Amino acid sequence: MTSKANGNPDAGLRSLNHYQTILPKWRYLIRQAILPLIRYETPYLAWMQEKLRSPALDTYFAIAANLGTHTFFTIFLPIFYWCGHPPLGRGILHVLASGVFFSGFVKDLLCLPRPLSPPLQRITMSGSAALEYGFPSTHSTNAVSVTIFALAQLQSPDNTLSPLATTALQIFLYIYVFSIVLGRLYCGMHGFLDVIVGSVMGAVIAWLQLRFGPALATYVVTGTFKEAAVIALITLALVRIHPEPADDCPCYDDSVAFSGVFLGAQIGTWLAPLSAPAWTDHDAEVFIPYDLESLGWFKTIVRLVIGILAIFLWREIAKPLLLRALPPVFRVLGKAGLLLPRRFFRQAFEYKTVPGHLKDDNVLPSFSDIPNIITSIRHPRRRAVSVGPQSEADAYETLAYREQRRRDSTLDSSRSSGRRPLMPGRGVPQVEKYEHMMGTGSPEPPSPEQSRRKDAPSDEVAGAIEQDMFARIKKPRVRYDVEVVTKLIVYSGIALLVLDVMPFVYERIGLAP
């Protein structure tokens, strides 16, 4: 199999062989074992979506999905640290960082597509989400892990909230996780298998945090530089061994960003006892001074606004500087053979400069993105409803399904020989209608004549169809090798800012108790 230098497939590329050629055999075999389940459930998902859809639910689930995004958590998490609950913030940070990293790890490992569109319609306020692989659902992983961890804290003997407040928060958490997980199905972004596996991953991650999280905190806070270095090396090693995807998928970007936040949080936790505004108790837990009664609501709000603005300001300054300073360093390291380039990332010797403000960040938006985010929330009807392939993975799956169906249809003796067709008859007219849409790339079911023509194309026609399919999808932007280190530094810096810098600033400007 060949491909163009820019990563776009040549016309006539055989879709069924794409992943077999690129992936190691063991990864390909696992992928092929799971893929039929994703294909089988797709018509049922489309049938469910049609039965449930309404303008009100479209708006609700499109907005609710934002509560499971990395941006929401990155902005929301510092509030725990600055308002007297660093242990809660640390625990949620750990489960989120683990969920984003390991769900992204599995996505890039197996390269499994989202359920086909059509027949599904994808409802989203984030166009970049559809560029990722589908299995497992990171939204489900995040929602379940945070919910289980938070519910455990509410049931803890250390919970000082009133019974009414505790009950209200429990109800909110159940509504939250239900809205996120069901919303991924309703919005056509994931299938049953995606959300089930994602939810199981979230539950396991939450259990690990509840079981071993306190021990990790003690290890970091009471440790020497050696312990901090061990945590850093393990984190960097995990970033390095993150699987190479078969397509240009942005999962790795999110994994790197949250790895940076996790790394910075561990270093910040280790440094916190050495700084004046923080101290540790007998359990080696780090606290940041805060008291609502002495500060009042006004100073508390000012404290939070200044802190969040400082996070955005750090990113706005640090990112362009690093993108300018790192390429010469990478060129020197590349000549010395000290770099291990990743697929789909341009190496430093291939470019002269990197744009200072790349539209690359799904985790924390830039200042210029904030008006668009607010507009999307205020006018949810501007949400995108997409039908058809949106990514390379979508296009390959559309063509592969079409090709497999053609092969099955040519086996006239399939029933007599006992060979199962790709999709057995389901006996439900609506489901069969959606099944006929799969692989068409069009929301309209094909006529019998169109089906016959598309199911048995010549090589020339097949190449033209494939070329047209890839021409219509959204192309991922160019990514640069220096972005990996840039993200690690920027997001590690955000965690250090939250834990160590802002408490000192609050004390100096009169916003500490």
Question: Which residues have a catalytic role annotated?
Answer: 139, 190
How far apart are alpha carbons 348 and 356 in whole angstroms?
A: 15
Residue with tokens 């057995």: 424
Task: Return all residues near 327 (Cβ < 8 A) that are at least 6 apart.
Answer: 348, 351, 352, 353, 354, 480, 482
Alpha carbon of 455 to those of 94, 424, 448, 459: distances in Å?
49, 17, 10, 12
In three state form, how does the secondary structure of 305-351 look? HHHHHHHHHHHHHHHHHHHHHHHHHHHHHHHCCCCCCCCCEECHHHC
Assigned token pair, 460: 């020339």
Determine the Cα–Cα distance for residues 184 and 62; give it in Å rounded to an integer: 9
How many CB atoms are located within 10 Å of the residue 217 CB? 22
Q: Residue 289: which residues within 8 A CB-CB, separation 6 or more?
A: 277, 278, 503, 507, 512, 513
The full DSSP string for 120-151 is: S-EEES-TTGGGS--SS-HHHHHHHHHHHHHH
Residues written for the chain: 513
SS (H, E, C) 240-281: HCCCCCCCCCCHHHHHHHHHHHHHHHHHHHHHHHHCCCCEEC
First-last CA distance in the chain? 66
Q: Which is nearest to 176 in space by CA: 331, 333, 313, 68?
A: 68
Query: Residue 98: exposed, middle, or buried by beta-carbon count in 10 A (0-12, 13-18, 19+)?
Result: buried
Beta carbons of 465 and 457 less than 8 angstroms apart: yes
Report which DSSP code applies to 501: I
Token pair in block for residue 286: 């780090």
Amino acid type, 142: N
Q: How far apart (Å, rounded) are the C-alpha atoms in residues 172 and 174? A: 6
Q: What is the DSSP string of 396-416?
A: HHHHHHHHHHHHHHT-TTTTT
Q: Helix (H, G, I), strand (E, B), or coil: what is residue 23?
A: coil
Q: Are 474 and 247 in contact (CB under 8 A)?
A: no
Tokens of 483: 């972005």
